[in-house]
Every structure is written in structure tokens, then in C-alpha cells.
Structure 1
């Protein structure tokens, strides 16, 4: 693995900072330590496991999880490290209620409760994904934890689907200077090196930096990735009550041999295909490079012990350059012929500017203490993407050989034809407020709302995207503390999504509304070391654009729509996280729900697993000091997809479980070795039936990681 000069410089800088810090601390300690100092030794164990007590993504109140009237779970830093969850896809695989739809190697959708998850935030600030999906292998190294707020999150987002909000909490400087180095090697020549350090410069300034370099091949033919991560966070305490921070992250993911689309799943006679797991539809020249930059400035001020002001500005850019190869058609079972290739060049420039300012604090009314948050939010996103094809040289749409023996060799097209694309700008202006009222002993009411003014201008592949909506999104929730260890809660909130379709009177349809209601119980057991949530939810999508059958035979520009009920899902979830026994940490989630749609084929319900079980657990072996073992498992029930409207061809994926194992040995306080084994049963499974194509998940694979703490 070749390290670039900038990456080597970052590693050297981190090491140098740590060395200087250690020398300064030692000299200061030696000079100031009295000779007759009484030493008190305290022995105990600091619990850093799977139990996160608070989450800020559901509101600006930074409440304890048991005080939030919604289903909330947190993927902690301990989980991320234990099972080497180095990318957000593998991390969200372990989250209760989240289904990761890997439709391609470098494009992923996420669903919860039957709806696409589109709201991804960083430290509580963000907009829905531009295309509803995530591109590239995004790393988790710069994040301290990941909060998952299931259901609609009307207060903090307002726009999007009533599925879930994923809130990534970034790493910040720690209380003391330190440096952590990790190096790992795994199957398919997977090499990764990571450095993470904090340096306390003085009483005013502190800095944290993270650097990652990873290169790996794949079980898929021709697929390989090269990933570089750089992150720096500088914090300044301007006074006892005021702090200012500025940070920047740089992510460069360069993939080669990536697929666009995936394998055909049935033959011309309707029988299922069964390719080797390594079979890939990519050409040997296919590539997809994604570069993401994010700069964040944050000002925090405490007016007194009761009121706090926070202002955040974020500027994010995404630059994608791709050359892609798609394979379509239906092969013959005897000859394996009948498929056609399809080349395209796709480029994207995406830019986000986000401003969020809020004030929160405590106040007294009628002899009781209450909390209040008021804030404003401004967001602007603009993106330009272009697609080019080859209609003239004969290389743009080649006849394909047998995929079982194809080596990816096909002439590279000349991408100069059929220019099309998008030029869209969207603006959101919002104001929000939340009050948490202590109405009587043990009972809190959370009520508030968000006013969103949403404007979109532009065109996408010939379709007008211009729309303007203004909506008020209400939120109400209540929590009652039955006994100190048990609380009951209920909540209702909404989200909305703009539509561009027109009705029979040529008026643009009103937004799709997602209504989410939930009731549940939460408990804190074993002195707060274990948190359990049981929830029942009901989510309804209304006013979804549905084609007017009287206009079905007209050209697309003349077709008209009406608003109808969309997806409805209802079911329950169980979430357990924490330490159930000294040294035994558990993260457990079970989801069981039913989906109904107005679509006659009920396709969403078919390809969405309605039962999900997630379990992550580690145990510190008491009779072998320093040894920790663990297992991580996810199970889903069977899914299927009708491949034709006639329902004569059906692709089925039976229920399956993926089991991972880990073992870690701490040689001393500074050095530890971890070994991870993934998919130990070598399960062969399709990663998704979200589309009519699919590919297989990774077979059994292994990695070893050496960690060094300074």
C-alpha cells in the first residue's frame, strides 16, 4: 500500500504532537509534584460499552434516551471498534429497524418501517440525500457514534420520509492529549492504517485529527477501492462561557471495477439464475471516484447556567466522476447469451450550505421547571449532473458473452453523445420551537413544531423540478415515569415531501405527508447500565401522486395524477442496549411490521423484509484477563420480487442470517490485537431485491487489527 506524501505528513504530525505533549506533561509533573504528596489509588472499571444514555438528534434538548418519546438507538464507538464497522453500511447493518439495500457496489439505499431513509445529519444538521441514496464507501473513522431516530423526525428535519433520521456525531478533542494508531490486514488484500489523536495546545486551544488510508480488492471480479480520509477539528475556548470550533473533513473514495446495475436474476424460461458470488457486470475500465469535503464552523455560548446559544454553519461539496457499464436483458439458460452492455459517463457536482441557530434553556412556571428550544434554519443545495453515451462507434451497446466466463474485456466507448442531466437548486427556510413541560410529578409533555418553506427550481433529465411549498409540521409527545426504572411514552409527528406531478386541472399536487404515531415503554435497569425500549408504531403516507388511468395512454408530459394513500406500515420494535452482566455488553434489536400499499403488486412490501433481528454482544473473559470475545448477527425474513407485471416470474431470497465473530486481547494498557471473522457460515445471499437485478454478498472473510495507544 503506497502512502501519499500528504498522508505521511499527517501521521508524522500526529506522532510529533503526541511526543511533545508527553514530554511537556512529564516535565510539568516532575517539577510540580511535592515530595510528601499523599497518593490515593482508586480501583474500578470504567464502562465504555453499548449503552449510550443520551441522544441529541431527536430534538435540541439533548435528552436522556428514556425521556425521548420515540424509538432511539445509538451505535457506540465500542461497537464500531469491536466489529470493525469501518463504513456506514456495515454500521447500519447493526442498527435496530434499519435495512441496508446494497443495490450496487457503490450505491446504497436504506429503509426503515417500509420507507426509504433519506435524512442523514452530521451533528444534527443536514438535508435529505439528493438522490435518496448514498454513493461510495463512506467511512466511520471521523465519527464518535451514530444516532438512529426511527419514525418521522418533524422537529429536526420536516422534509423527507417518515422512516428514520441518521445522525452522525463527529469526534471532538478529548480532555487529554493522546494518540491512537491502528493497522489492519484482511482477506482480499484489505490493508488499512488509521491514526486518531488529540493535542491540548494550551488552556484555550485543543485539536483533534484523524487520518485513514485503506486499499482493498474484493471477492467480486475486477472490483477494488482506494480510500483516503483526512479530518481536523480545532476548538478554542474564548472564555468561561464561549467556545468556537472549525473543522474540515476530506473523503476520497476511488473505486475501479464497480458495477452499475447488477446481475440478471432469471432466464428466458423464468427459472432463476445462480452465478458465482464473484461474478461482476463491470467492464475492466469501469471507475467511480467520489470526493467529499465538509467544512463546519460552530459557536457556542452559555449566558448563565440556564440558557445556551449554538450557531452552526456547514459547507459541503461532493464531486463524482464516473465511467460506468450496465448490463441488461434476459439470458438464455442454455447458451447464457442474450444480454447487452450499456456504457455511460456520469458526473455530479453537489453543494450544500447549511445554517442552524438555536437557543435552549430552562425556565420556571407555576412552581415547576421546564425547558424550551427556539431556532431557525437555512439550507441551500444545488447540484449539476451530466450523462453522456456512445451511439456512434458501436462500443456503447455491445452484445455480451456468457457472464460466467466474461473477464470484463470490452472496448471502451467514446462518451460524446446524448448529453443530458440536471441543474437543480433547492432552498429551505425553517423556524422551529420545542417545549418540554413538567406538568406534574413524573409526567412531561413535549410539544412544538417546525415551519418549513421549501423551494425548488430547475430541470432534471427533461422534467421540470420547480415547486414551492410551505408547511407547518407539528410534534407532540408525552413521557410518564411510572416507577423510577420504567416510563411510558406516546408521540405524533409528520414530515412532507414535495411533488412535481400535476392534477387534472394542471395544478401541482400538494406534498406527500408522512404521519407517524408511536407508543411504547422504556426502562433503565441495573443502575442505568441497560436501556430497553418496546414500541408500537403506525406510519401512514397520504396524498402520494398516483397516475390518473384516463391519461395513462397519453405522452408522459400530458399525463395527470391524483393524490392517494401510499405506504402504510404498522408493527413493533424491541431495542436493548447496555451491560446485562459485568463484562457482558449487548445490543439487541427486533422489528416486526406489516406493509400495505395502493400498488396492486405490493412491490415495496414484497422486497422489504418485515422481520429483522440484530444482535451484537461482547464478553470480557474473567479468568483470562485482557481477553474479550464477541458475536455480531443480523437476520431477516424471506423477500421476493415480481419481475413482470403478469407475476409469472418471481425472484425469491429465503430468510438468512449473517454471523460475525471477534476476539481481542489486550497485552497491556497500550497494545491490543483484534481478530474478526465475518459471515462465518459462508451464507450465499442476494444483497437486495430493491431493483429487478442484484448481486451476492461477501463470503467468509477475516481481518486482524493491531492497536497502539499513546
Structure 2
């Protein structure tokens, strides 16, 4: 890690097990610059350096899904910061989390685990691996989860089955085939609105009279998020000579991830945007009293107060995706007394075909005390989108280590080309296109990376790195109408890394600046009630981000381990407005102690804390009629969350008790001001594991 001109963190399977939890984020939140984003129970969303991940990486392949991934299949997490055209050509410039799955082992072993507790914790797992003979090894992992959540009538259920087989035709050659069936379904969190009588300068408050656990969802068959996937991967690795090695990876996948997304809203707005400040003012309605457009006269009048009758509408979206991927890279290493040279050359191909049908749904108006769940009115499909993209990439990177690795120089180039079509077969005609047009899209772009690492002493490195990526546009209609064919990310980073305690502790300090052009955010007008008849396209913006991060991790003693981080991030739109769900200041720490001798041998305990500054409740865009940038309607308050566990291992058996949200802190996430999601309170769970 000292020789790389970027920030990379690897979280091992032991660390993931120590943390516990049911989400990828539960472990990743202890890494500097990562904080939670929207939709805590779906899509594995997280912010990295202020950029929201759109999809996770599994074994290096981009994997979109409505469902959070099951951690039972994960061997380790590789977290890289900044844009990287080789590791994450389709990722956000903030970085990526690559989930490396468990592979067959050549010694027999495994485990059975059962866990039970409050809120999203009831699950069982089984993992068995071993050799068949000297040439073949196998692994089978299964897990199932079925539980209720804290919010009324919410749930999560999932089933994972993943067998894999490794063939070793030669001592330095392995071919692993892995199949994964994953079926997960969870509630769509409809949330509750903010109180419209408060604005961004007031203390955060949810809608009075609405219980925090309130959920008007019509039922599991109408309001849910689901991901069902069948995935086959192949990985061939071979050391051909002492200098030359090859890696070949492929994937075939099909996924279905429908989404029944009901929302509810107020009968009156209860306030408005002040045209002079761009801020929301509760209880005030700003109107233009002038009839002369050149001389507006904005005056305030009392706003109609929201009643206790709410509208209840939704959108059902059915997504089917087909994915084909191929990655092939060759590594050539020369290592002598003068220089160590590492050359990587490779090629990647990715094919994506997604079909999306959506339609509106509606329920009768309701009050908090009387929520009718029938009848559900379903309208005809108003969207039938097709998106097909083929992406081709060639890349070359070179690293030179000089003077006993005291000086490391690196550089590389990646060239990406893509083509495809995108369109809505039910779209209306426009002056520029006929009805139902399928828009063609294509692009070609070269990106570059380079870096320098200086090690004045063996355990200290000072580095500078420049990295880029270019992500193909996902909406070719916007490209057809003049948008650039790529969203481009560029980062410059400087920092230092230090190994302490005989290499057991790694400390790093980094400062970075990132620029992104042509990125998209979900249009906030799609979450109004009622929503537009046809969902509006994403907003296309540009932004700049900068910040610094400090991280320390490792084992102080064989019994005591720690990970701690602090980050200060500024990531805003061109008007200087905060982006939804992205905290600009975070800090976290997790400490674990295990008794290895004496009467308490086998006993371990861990305590974690995670602090986040305030976060915007929504994405906004544009300006008032007076040219003042519009501000978010409110901010989620800063919060500190704590988790703890105590465990005991004796022989093949281990026992554990977890307490999440130890201090019973009330905290939130949000999709919009009218969709505030209340998180689980303090919860206790217990587990028993048998290893063999």
C-alpha cells in the first residue's frame, strides 16, 4: 500500500465478521470519506468523498440491483478512492467498493451460523469448502433471512445460494466457476414528510401528528423493492513464467429488480420558496403582485395550512437486465538490482441490455387514523424504455520502482469506446424526434493516470496521484440533444502513508480535489405528490469536490486492534448548494479487544462509533425568479451512532451478542423533504456459530 499514489483500503473477512451488521455499509462506514446515503434498506448506497455510488462492484463487475447484497458471500472489501478507468470504468469519481467473493479452498472446513434478534437480524448461514481431489476444490454458501423491521409493516427477506468449483490443471493455474442465485425483497420505505412549517434555518422536525413508525403502505405486493439475479462467473489465473501472468474473467447475468414505489403527500404546501433568499419559508406564500414582468413585486401572504388528509400515489417499475462481461489482462514484471518494472496491459468488454416498464398507481386519500389499503388503482404503462450498450476498453499501465523502491513512478492510459441505443417506446413526438424514437449513442474517450511516490525512509511514503475516468452517458436522448457522451471525473491527490509498530499499524493522510462534468442526479420533481405522468429525466450537472482524510488501522498488540478515521469533504453543485444525503464532516472508530490467555481466553468485545455532520434532505436545482440559487428545504441533524458486541469462542463454537444503535439515537435518511426515513432504534441480536 505504501507504493501506490492513491488511497486504497482492504477490509478483510475477519474485520467484516467483527463488525457484524447486515449491510455493506456497516463495515465500510469506518473507512475515511464514506458515509451513508439514501435508501438504507436497498441498493447498497453509500457516499464516497461526497459522490453517491450508483451500483456495487462484485468481483470487479458492476452489479445494479434494488436489493442490498448478502454479506455471507464476501471474502473482503476493496475500497479505492478517486476515479479509476481500469478498476471502475463505470463508477463515480469518488471511488468504489469492490466486493470480492469467497472462493473454494484446498483444505476442508466451513461453518454454520444462526442469528436471531430485533429488526433485520434473523438469518441462517452455511458455508462448506474443501478439495475433491488434487485438481478440484468446491465451495457452497447458502444464507436465508426473514424478519420484520421497526417501521410498521416493513420487512426484509432473502435467499442466497452460491456454489463454486475450482479446477487446478497445473500448480500455478486455477479456473474457478461460480454460480449465484440471489433473491431479496424488502419494503419500500415511504417515510414521513418534514414539517412544512420549518425551513433550512430551523431545527429539523418531522410532520406533527405522524408517528415515527407510521407506514401507510398498501401491502407487500404493491410497495416493495426486489432483486432477483442469476449470475455465472468464471475466473482464470495463471503464472506462465516467473515474469508473466495472466487473468481472464467473464460474467453472464440476468436480473429482475421491480420496484413498487408508493409515496404520500400533503394536501397543501404549507409554505413556499422566498424569491429573495432561495430558502423555504413555512406558513408563507410568496406571490408576484405586479402585472409588469419587468418590475416584479414579490409580497408574502399567509399560506394555506396543510390539512390532515393526504394523497397516496405511486409508480410501479419493472426492470429486467442482461449483462455480459469479459476482462483480460496480462502482467509482466522485471525485478533486478536496479529497477522493478510492472507492466499491465488489458482489454475489457461489457454488454448491458435493460428493459424498464413503469406505470402509475393510486390509493384513496387517507388520514393518519384511517388508512385504506384498497382499492389500488393501476393505470396503463406510461413508460417502456430500452437501453442497450456495448462498451470496449483497452488499457496499459506501467510502474517503475527505483533505488530500492524509494522512488516509484507510475502512469497509464485507458481508451473507452461505446455504442448503443436508448429510448422510450411510449414517448410522445417532439419537434426533434418522432414518437417512440430509439436514440443512438456512441462515444470514444482516452483517460490518463500518473503518480509519484517518494519514500525517504522505509516506513514512510509521500505521494502525488492524478487519475481520470469517463463514464458513458446512460440516456442517449440527452446525448442526441447535445449533452456530452461521457460523464468525466478527474482527481488530483497528495498524501502520506506511515507504518508503525513494526508494520502492524498503517496511518494515512490525504488531500484531494475532484472535478466531475455531466453527472446526473435524480430529478426532485419526480418525488412530488402527485408525481408527473411520465417521470422526468435526471438533472445533468457539474461539480467540484475537495477535502482531506486521516485514517489509522491495524493491531496495536495481538489482542488490541483499531480502525479510526476523520474526513472533511466539500462536494457541492455549481451554486455552492449541498447535495442530498452527503455529510461534509465525518468521523468514526472501532476498537476490538480479545483475551488470548488466562481464564478469559476466547472472550472478545468491540465498540464502534460513527459521527456525521448535517445532511441536505434533497437535491435542488435552479434559481428563483430573482436569480437567487434555491436552497434545500432542510437538513438532517448531525448524529453519533454507536454499536457494540461481546463474543466468546470455545473450541469450534462461538457465541455473540450485538447491540446496534447502543445509545438509542433517533436518526434519519431521506430521498426528499417529503420522504424522511426513520432508522431503527436500539436493537439486540444474538448468534451461534459452529466451525468445522
Matched residue of 2:194: which SS? coil
2:513 is the counterpart of 1:531: no
> Deviation of residue 497 (structure 1)?
3.2
Normalising by structure 2, what TM-score? 0.82
1:688 aligns with 2:652: no
- The counterpart of 1:265, out of the listed 194, 201, 211, is 194
The reply to whether residue 574 of structure 1 matches residue 574 of structure 2 is no
Equivalent residue in structure 2 for 1:698, among 672, 680, 685: 680
- Post-superposition offset of 1:207: 0.6
Structure 1 residues 151 and 217: alpha-carbon distance in aligned structure 2, compared to 1, 3 A threshold: same
Instruction: Establish whether residue 145 from structure 1 lines up as the match of residue 145 from structure 2.
Output: no
In the TM superposition, 1:285-684 aligns within 5 A as 285=220, 286-329=223-266, 337-363=308-334, 367-390=338-361, 396-402=362-368, 405=369, 409-441=372-404, 442-460=406-424, 462=427, 466-499=440-473, 507-542=482-517, 566-599=542-575, 602-604=577-579, 607-621=581-595, 624-641=600-617, 650-666=633-649, 668-684=650-666
Deviation, 1:502, is 8.5
Change (3 A) 1:68 1:708: same
Greater Cα offset, 314-323 or 272-281:
272-281
Partner SS for 2:242: coil
Q: Name the CA shift for 1:682/1:300 in 2 (closer, same or farther; >3 Å).
A: same
The C-alpha deviation readout for 1:148-190, integer Å capped at 9, x for no partner, is: 1011112223334211111111101234101211111101484
After superposing the two structures, state which structure 1 stretch, 271-280 or 369-378, moved more.
271-280
Moved more, 434-443 or 265-274: 265-274
Q: Does the 8 Å contact 2:44/2:55 carry over to 1? A: no
The counterpart of 1:228, out of the listed 159, 173, 191, is: 159
User: Could you say what secondary structure the match of 1:688 adopts?
Assistant: strand
Does structure 1 retain, via aligned residues, the 8 Å contact 2:260–2:317?
yes
Give the superposition deviation at 1:561: 14
Alignment CA distance shift 1:105-1:206 (3 Å): closer
Cα drift, residue 511 of structure 1: 2.7
Displacement of 1:351 in angstroms is 1.3
Structure 1, residues 301-334: CA drift from partner, whole Å, max 9, x if none? 2111211111111112211244442213356898
Kindly indicate whether the alpha-carbon contact (under 8 Å) linking 2:443 and 2:472 is maintained by their aligned counterparts in 1. Answer: yes
Deviation at 1:659, TM superposition (A): 0.2
Aligned with 1:74 (options 6, 10, 21): 10
**The residue matched to 1:313 in structure 2 has which SS?**
strand
CA shift digits 1:309-363 (9 cap, x unpaired): 1111111221124444221335689885242111433211111110001110212
> Once the 2 structures are TM-superposed, how far is the Cα of residue 420 of structure 1 from its aligned partner?
1.3
Q: Aligned equivalents of 1:692 and 1:170: distance in 2?
A: 38
How many angstroms apart in 2 are the aligned matches of 1:535 and 1:587? 16
CA deviation string 1:226-284 (max 9, x = no partner): 211111110011112322110111111133xx225432112367674254332224222
* Distance of 2:120 and 2:445 partners within structure 1: 51
Residue correspondence of structure 1 range 181-260 to structure 2 within 5 A: 181-188=112-119, 190-255=121-186, 258-259=187-188
Q: Aligned equivalents of 2:566 and 2:448: distance in 1?
A: 29
CA contact (8 A) 1:287 1:322 kept: yes
Residue 117 of structure 2 contacts residue 684 of structure 2 at CA under 8 Å; is this kept in 1?
Answer: yes
Q: Deviations over 1:202-244 (max 9, x none)?
A: 1111111111011111101101122111111100111123221
In the TM superposition, residue 421 of structure 1 has moved relative to its aligned partner by 2.8
Structure 1 residues 148-163: aligned runs within 5 Å: 148-163=79-94
> In the alignment, which of 29, 34, 40 is matched to residue 98 of structure 1?
34
Q: 1:654 deviation in Å? A: 1.9
More strand by share: 2
Conserved 8 A contact 1:190-1:214: yes
Considering fraction of residues, name the structure with more helix: 1
SS in 2 for 1:591: strand
CA distance in structure 2 between the aligned counterparts of 1:648 and 1:154, rounded to whole angstroms: 34
CA distance in 2, matches of 1:501, 1:372: 36
Evaluate the alpha carbon distance shift between residue 590 and residue 689 of structure 1 in structure 2; reply closer, same or farther with a 3 A threshold: farther
Q: Separation in 2 of the partners of 1:251 and 1:560?
A: 30
- Partner Cα separation in structure 1 for residue 463 and residue 268 of structure 2: 54
State the TM-score, normalized to the length of structure 1: 0.80
The answer for unaligned runs of 5 or more in structure 2 is 200-204, 271-304, 428-436, 522-533, 625-629
Query: How far apart, CA to CA, are the structure 2 residues paired with 1:366 and 1:626?
Result: 46
Partner of 2:281: none
Residue 106 and residue 502 in structure 1: after superposition, are their counterparts in 2 closer, same or farther (change >3 A)?
closer
**1:135 partner SS:** coil
d(CA) in 1 for partners of 2:666 and 2:539?
A: 43
Deviation at 1:368, TM superposition (A): 2.2
Distance verdict in 2 for CA 1:412–1:164, change over 3 Å: farther
SS at match of 1:78: helix
| Change in CA separation of 1:675 and 1:245 when aligned onto 2, cut-off 3 Å | same
Give the distance between the partners of 1:99 and 1:330, measured in 2 at CA: 34
Cα distance in 2 for residues equivalent to 1:322 and 1:503: 25
Rounded to whole Å, the distance in 2 between the matches of 1:301 and 1:66 is 26
Partner deviation per Cα, 1:591-641 (whole Å, 9 max, x = no partner): 1122343136x141x742111112121101365211101112211012244
| 1:579–1:586 Cα contact (<8 Å) kept | yes
Following superposition, the deviation at residue 470 of structure 1 comes to: 0.6
Instruction: Indicate the SS of the match to 2:179.
Output: strand
Whether the 8 Å CA contact 2:124–2:143 is kept in 1: the answer is yes
- In the alignment, the residues of structure 2 paired with residue 631 and residue 518 of structure 1 have an alpha-carbon distance, to the nearest angstrom, of 32
Query: For this pair of structures, how many residues does the alignment match?
Result: 617
Displacement of 1:119: 5.7
Structure-1 residue corresponding to 2:282: none
* C-alpha displacement of 1:567: 1.3
